[in-house]
Amino acid sequence: MHAGTGPHIAVTPPGPRAEAVIARDERYLSTSLMRTARLVAASAHGAYVDDVDGNRFLDFGSGIGVTILGHTHPRVVTAIERQTTQLIHVNSCDYFSLPQVAYAERITALVPGAGPKRVFFSNSGSEAVEAAVKSAVYHTGRTGFVAFTGGFHGRTMGALGLTSNAAVSRARYSGAMMPSVAFAPFANPYRNPFSGDCSEAALRYLEDEILDRVLPAENCAAIVFEPIQGAGGYIVPPTEFVRGLERICRERGILLVADEVQTGFAKTGHMFASEAFGVEPDLVCLSKAIAAGLPMGATVGRAELLEWESNTHENTLGGNPVVVAAALAVLDVIEEEGLVERAAEIGERITAGLGELQAAHPRIGDVRGLGAMIGLEFVTDPETREPDTPARDAFITTCFESGLLVLGAGASSIRLSPPLVLTDAEIDTGLDIMADALGAIET
């Protein structure tokens, strides 16, 4: 375990060993992958990632909000090791297994909403969304959906149909992806496309222009939303907006599906972001942090929405015993280490530090967040708020070369989702590196 030793750059990354791996990668892997930095990870423990050239990076991205317990948390490693010696696979299409049942009991009790709930296990965030989409169609008999501009729900044809954060992901697939989706503007306090209050105006548009004209309620199965837009740039909507979505769904008999793939599990200072907004979605999609980096998705919801004919929807590897053993350990650690509360403290300290950086660097147009999910947006000028993509990209590279991993999102934002085991000293180290990087990109 190397936690606490601080980041360390031995050779400017990517070093020679990293370059050699990248050259082979570039020869054989699909080129559709968009890489943020030329990091070739060799090992990772706690808040640190070591690359193949002996560099050590402080990880403020957690592999897109996945390793919230830090990398290779001992409790998770032990749970995986134990399970692998007992049972690695039993397909849930045909048989039963205890870890699945144990996890189902716990997660259904944790997800917001009174009344009985059920869970469907899968292998990724996209699949968690697919299950919600299929359940909504099956149970309402309707095929239309409302999603939000700038939203991200995955790459499979159903989830992609709900996704609109970047034109390139949809460009060649119109007609192939799920077609019947009407997009409404998301309530974005920093980039409000309306003249009035962003929540009120976005809700009015949704009701008057979408549901009263384009996609009437009798054709709309569900409204699918991210409580915080993740890939879109960590955009935190006002509470009234999210509550308004719930009200509209209840009034019009439409299902509310919260995609908590990115917001899920403690990082917002709440176990789930829906709790922060005080809403109870009909279905909640989970993945990413759920199993500390092992592939797992879960769709959790009102019991009747996951009561459907046998063979309607299933998969081979969903709820794999090893993966679920890790997921059970994740829940234990969150509880025992008080990570929900720690996320709020981490969020406060980082946000305060970024506020000081913003005051000194007008290129940072906005700092926003909920708990330890924090976004900062680069602009060319704070008045015009013109996105400054080159400055954002230079900031990522400079941080990387100085030993700090941060991830981009949206046109010109950074998304910070650090591990919730960060010490205050590590937070300050990260802030110092960001301060230096801002100075460097301005010279």
Question: Which positions touch ligand PLP (CB under 6 A)?
Answer: 64, 124-126, 129, 152-154, 226, 230-231, 259, 261-262, 287
Smallest gap from Cβ 159 to ligand PLP, in A, equals 6
> By C-beta, is 188 or 287 nearer to ligand PLP?
287
Rounded Cα distance between 428 and 60, Å, is 12
Of the pair 402, 413, the CB lying nearest ligand PLP is at 413
CB of 8: closest distance to ligand PLP in angstroms? Answer: 29
Closer Cβ to ligand PLP, 185 or 230, answer by number: 230
- If the CB atoms of residues 126 and 429 are measured against ligand PLP, the closer one turns out to be 126
Displacement of CA 31 from its chain's centroid (Å): 23
The Cβ-side half-sphere exposure at 432, using a 13 Å CA radius, reads 11
* Cβ closest to ligand PLP, residue 150 vs residue 244: 150
Residues 109, 112, 115, 119, CA torsion sign: negative
Return the number of the residue (73 or 153) whose C-beta is nearest ligand PLP: 153
Alpha helices (H) along 142-259: 157-161, 167-170, 198-205, 239-252
Q: How far is the CB of 128 from ligand PLP (least distance, A)?
A: 7
> 53 vs 259, which CB is nearer to ligand PLP?
259
CA distance 286 to 50: 28
Q: How far is the CB of 290 from ligand PLP (least distance, A)?
A: 10
As measured in angstroms, the least distance from the Cβ of 101 to ligand PLP is: 24
Q: Rounded CA gap, 337 and 341, in Å?
A: 9
**Residue 153 CB neighbour total at 10 angstroms:** 33
In whole angstroms, the minimum distance from the beta carbon of 87 to ligand PLP comes to 24
* Cα radius of gyration rounded to whole Å, the chain: 21
Report the nearest approach of ligand PLP to the CB of residue 133 (Å): 12
Task: Specify the residue, 124 or 140, whose C-beta has the smaller distance to ligand PLP.
Answer: 124
Q: What is the DSSP string of 405-436?
A: E-EEETTTEEEE---TT--HHHHHHHHHHHHH
Q: Considering the complex, state which of residue 129 and residue 283 has its C-beta at the smaller distance from ligand PLP.
A: 129
Q: In the numeric block, which tokens belong to residue 70? A: 């830090």
| Residue whose C-beta lies closest to ligand PLP | 125
Residue number with CB closer to ligand PLP (153 or 361): 153
Query: Least distance (Å) from ligand PLP to the CB of residue 247?
Result: 23
Between CA 83 and CA 81 the distance in angstroms is 6
| Structure-block tokens of residue 399 | 């941080």
Q: Mutual orientation of helices 424-442 and 389-401 as an angle, nearest 10°? A: 130
CA dihedral sign, ordered 155, 156, 162, 164: positive
User: What distance in Å separates the CA atoms of residue 443 and residue 295, rounded to the nearest whole number?
Assistant: 42
**Shortest Cβ 132–ligand PLP spacing (Å):** 10
CB 225 within 8 A of CB 245: yes
What burial class does residue 33 get, using C-beta atoms within 10 Å of its C-beta: 0-12 exposed, 13-18 middle, 19+ buried?
A: exposed
Name beta bridge partners: 44.
49
Rounded least distance, CB 287 to ligand PLP, Å: 5
Which amino acid does the sequence have at 369?
Answer: G
